[in-house]
Amino acid sequence: MNVSIVGLGLIGGSVARDLRKTHFATHLIGVDANEAHAKEALQIQLVDEILPLTEATSKADLVIIAIPVNRIREILPQVLDQIQPGTTVTDLGSTKQRIVDVVENHPKRRNYIAAHPMSGTENSGPSAALEGLFEGKIAIICDQEKSGPQHLALVEKMFQTLGMNIAYMSADEQDHSTAYISHLPHVVAYALANAAMAKENRHIIFDLASGGFNSTVRLAKSTPSMWGPIFQDNKKYIIESLDTYIKHLKEFKESIQKDEKQMYQLMENATKIREVLGGANPSLIKNEEKIIKLYTK
Amino acid sequence: MNVSIVGLGLIGGSVARDLRKTHFATHLIGVDANEAHAKEALQIQLVDEILPLTEATSKADLVIIAIPVNRIREILPQVLDQIQPGTTVTDLGSTKQRIVDVVENHPKRRNYIAAHPMSGTENSGPSAALEGLFEGKIAIICDQEKSGPQHLALVEKMFQTLGMNIAYMSADEQDHSTAYISHLPHVVAYALANAAMAKENRHIIFDLASGGFNSTVRLAKSTPSMWGPIFQDNKKYIIESLDTYIKHLKEFKESIQKDEKQMYQLMENATKIREVLGGANPSLIKNEEKIIKLYTK
């Protein structure tokens, strides 16, 4: 199968690695607006050839779009215009509602699957691409009823080939949940990095930085060109989650100042995250299709 | 050398493992108010025997106190009362000012070294103890001029045996810096866990939880009985750091809502944490004594 990947960064590059390794793709075509990235992707053999978007699109059985969400909105209608009638298109952006909205009435809407594989690292570019990045993680497929069954089947097979479990929900519910589980932690980390760097004598604190600080602030290393558009696209739910978070922070702060008993209650409640996450650890439910059953309509 | 460890949890247990393995300790005596923990520590051979505090203290060449900071304040004066004249005492608590204050005028103040090894995990109890937990990390020694040189030398040798670099500063500066680098990230994580668990349909978001969420919220699994007393002890600087953090969060939130250019500037600034932390990665400076030189008076 000819697979064209638009955007050869961390996500697109990692998909390329696994689809080649598993022979899901027999020929991999890459598209990247950044010429240095395109060249590098070819050199490290993420793809077999680099083509302009129009050619890559018209030659593909499957087009995978893995670029910042604002750019997905711009090119998705063009891609659907240019594909052959039987070609499947998917995108891997972290927000979905504004993307599905731009192709709502496109004549080839049923060729398109709105998807979001929940995996990544704080690194970017073709050299950040990793084999097995998606293994055991969850891919969200949105508004499945708006896609044709053969296109849906192909994208499901692709995610299963990557080792992923699949969850199905509306674009709105995906944006709402992802705000809390992915976008908010990025804001948390960006603000923590800025707060720590604002301290006087900051060289001392960074010399002291230990595992706890490093893991909490890790996401602040994520690239603004990917995350800025996500924050703008999903503004409504990110602001909601931030307001909730700030309320909880203030409550915790006041309990430290004035109410030790309340402070302990808030901490005890927070530690329940251990069992909540433990039970939902994707690596534990892998291949058991628990998630798929939960959300299949 | 006879080493008595008071508190056989994650920290005390991990120190025991390494001091035995390196033959720094020839005989390890354990003390733990929790009988189940004491029994378990003996069973998994963290220590050679369990004794009551008074006996363990009077038989030791070195006493290491690794219990919650409020309990350290309570027992440190007793321990100093009971030791032989040549015995060295250290504690491994995360806050220092309130602890050094209680022994400021103790006749054996010079036998005591106020210390804080910057390492840990979100787990607790004897079974959480790990070999090599401290390797490549930083130990802070506070107010070194108030300790006798032979006692200081022994504790420095112990930390070097654990593979640590040593930083020297006042108890006040340690509490101030540690508020930002360790205590604040714990508050951040506790509040994030509570905010995420407060969301409606929270089962969906936890089924979706991915690496980004898990690493940012990891510290929320930390035990309240250890962290509550730290938050109370270091209230002044933790509130300062929280106020700074909340200010940065609100600024970020407002930039998402109203000022995209500003949002990108804040993100770009935050990503500088990559180079700042990169340059201070303790594993990179190990054995180069860079830290020691920086802070030696």
- CB interface of A with B, residues 244-263, below 8 Å: 244-253, 256-257, 260, 263
Residue with the larger pLDDT of the pair A63 and B120: A63
Nearest to A137 by CA among A112, A113, A98, A167: A167
Domains and CATH numbers, chain B: 2-169 (3.40.50.720), 175-279 (1.10.3660.10)
A78 near B CB under 8 A? no
ipTM for the predicted complex:
0.88
Residue with the larger pLDDT of the pair B208 and B236: B236
> Which run of H or of E encompasses B3?
strand B2-6
How many whole angstroms separate alpha carbon A147 and alpha carbon A173? 18
Q: Convert the pLDDT of each residue in A55-82 to its tens digit.
A: 999 999 999 999 999 999 999 999 999 9
User: CA A73 → CA A50, A102, A287, B78, B84, distances in Å?
Assistant: 22, 7, 33, 68, 74
What average pLDDT does the segment B229-239 reach? 97
How many whole angstroms separate alpha carbon B200 and alpha carbon A246? 17
pLDDT band at A278 (very low <50, low <70, confident <90, very high): low
pLDDT at position B207:
75
Q: Going along chain A, which residue ranges are E strands?
A: 2-6, 27-31, 49-50, 62-65, 88-91, 112-117, 138-142, 165-169
pLDDT at position A84:
97
pLDDT at position B206:
73
Q: Convert the pLDDT of each residue in A8-57 to its tens digit.
A: 999 999 999 999 999 999 999 999 999 999 999 999 999 999 999 999 99
Q: What is the DSSP string of B200-261?
A: TTHHHHHHH--HHHHHHHGGGGS-HHHHHHHHHHTHHHHHHHHHHHHHHHHHHHHHHHH-HH
pLDDT at position B192:
93
B278 near A CB under 8 A? no
Highest mean pLDDT among A193-197, B87-91, B278-282: B87-91
pLDDT at position A198:
87
B197 near A CB under 8 A? yes
C-beta atoms of B188 and A192 within 8 A: yes
Q: Convert the pLDDT of each residue in A87-139 to its tens digit.
A: 999 999 999 999 999 999 999 999 999 999 999 888 899 999 999 999 999 99
pLDDT at position A176:
94
B242 near A CB under 8 A? yes
Q: Per-residue pLDDT for B186 more than 80?
A: yes
Q: Are B220 and A185 within 8 A, CB to CB?
A: no
Q: Per-residue pLDDT for A213 more than 80?
A: yes
Closest CB from B178, B208, B249 relative to A118: B208
